[in-house]
Amino acid sequence: MAKIPPFHSIMQKIYHDDTNCPDARTIQVNHKRQGTAGKQKCLFCQRLNVKADMIQEVRQ
């Protein structure tokens, strides 16, 4: 899971911050913008972030 700086699509009401999010992978380059734009985080990205945090805790 690769957490990255947030980005969003001008065509969606959510933002993404994980390269493994299947929805984020479908965003066309011309629709992609940096930042959250005040949008809510994608639910899939939220789950990926929680999973990454759990893995990191186990490794410590």
pLDDT, position 1: 54
Instruction: Say which residues have a Cβ less than 8 Å from residue 13's Cβ, sequence separation at least 6.
Output: 39, 40
* Location of structure tokens 């972030």: 49
In contact, 20 and 2? CB cutoff 8 Å: yes
Q: What is the pLDDT of residues 15-44, one digit of tens each?
A: 999 999 999 999 999 999 999 999 999 999
Q: What are the boundaries of each domain within the chain?
A: 3-59
pLDDT, position 3: 86
How would residue 13 be classed by pLDDT, with cut points 50, 70 and 90? very high
